[in-house]
């Protein structure tokens, strides 16, 4: 009987450790395009990442016209306190970035872009 209790305890420890393992983050949000341009692709990467990687994946399920919104499902395998967004325009041109979003506290991001000044801004909720 002592041996059985030992196994039960060992299994409880193992399953407890598995249950506390970090899960993939759920950082979903609604994206609103108020840039004046249609967006073809959106990439998200940790703010600590120095350069955009070829392995970064487009998270936009479809092209997003100006004044449209879309729900972004984002479940990265890594964790980070802040995230950057990079978009690619439907009509081409240079990619544009928005930096430093704490996606754990944001449910909606509205993107703005001023082509004349090449400045990006965003409102978050």
Question: Which residue in 22, 121, 31, 120 sits closest to 74, CA to CA?
Answer: 31
Cα 101 to Cα 18, 46, 118, 121, distances in angstroms: 30, 9, 19, 12
Looking at the DSSP bridge assignments, the partners of residue 8 are none
Q: Which domains does the chain have, with CATH numbers?
A: 23-124 (2.60.40.2890)
Q: How far apart are CA 106 and CA 124, in angstroms?
A: 6
Q: What is the pLDDT of residue 52?
A: 94
Q: What is the pLDDT of residue 115?
A: 86
Q: How far apart are CA 119 and CA 121, in angstroms?
A: 7
Q: What is the pLDDT of residues 3-26, one digit of tens each?
A: 444 444 443 444 444 444 444 567
């Amino acid at each position: 009987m002592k041996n059985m209790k030992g196994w039960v305890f060992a299994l409880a420890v193992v399953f407890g450790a598995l249950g506390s393992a970090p899960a993939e983050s759920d950082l979903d949000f609604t994206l609103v395009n108020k840039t004046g341009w249609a967006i073809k692709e959106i990439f998200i990467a940790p703010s600590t990442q120095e350069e955009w990687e070829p392995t970064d994946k487009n998270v936009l399920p479809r092209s997003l016209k100006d004044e449209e919104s879309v729900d972004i499902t984002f479940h990265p395998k890594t964790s980070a306190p802040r995230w950057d967004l990079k978009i690619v325009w439907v009509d081409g041109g240079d990619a544009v970035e928005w930096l430093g979003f704490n996606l754990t506290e944001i449910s909606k991001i509205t993107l703005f872009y001023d082509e004349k000044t090449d400045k990006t801004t965003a409102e978050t909720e």
